[in-house]
Homo-oligomer: A and B are copies of this chain.
């Protein structure tokens, strides 16, 4: 399998934009989107895009005068990779203790709990 590059916190925000929009987007579209959720300067965002290209997390095509960018890695792949690294670091790779920890979280609603339970039900053969 393809190996997923490390994506930093700030870079992750850029990727999220690109994943959200199904179509490839220009640097400016990314900048616009991020100016709503962050207070990063356009140059900062350009830098992040550049780094993601270098890491091969984003690809681009020249379209006339501008570049249009598109993800080279899927959100699922990245989530899996990040999750694994988190799990390894914090829980020594042990899935269950991690889940136990989170299932205790206050913020789960009764509905959430129901849904999660159903999910577990389905896993039983």
Residues on A facing B (Cβ under 8 Å): 9, 12, 16, 78-79, 82-83, 86, 89-92, 95-96, 98-105, 107-108, 110, 112-113, 115-117, 119-121, 123-125
Residues in chain B near residue A82, CB distance under 8 A: 86, 89-90
**A124 in contact with B113 given A12-B90, A101-B83, A105-B95 (CB within 8 Å):** yes
Nearest 5 interchain pairs by C-beta: A86-B86, A117-B120, A96-B112, A82-B90, A103-B119
Instruction: Tell me the complex Cα distance, A107–B78, Å.
Output: 19
Contacts A/B (CB < 8 Å), 16 sampled: A9-B89, A12-B90, A82-B89, A83-B86, A86-B90, A95-B107, A95-B112, A96-B108, A96-B112, A98-B102, A99-B102, A100-B116, A110-B125, A113-B120, A113-B124, A116-B120
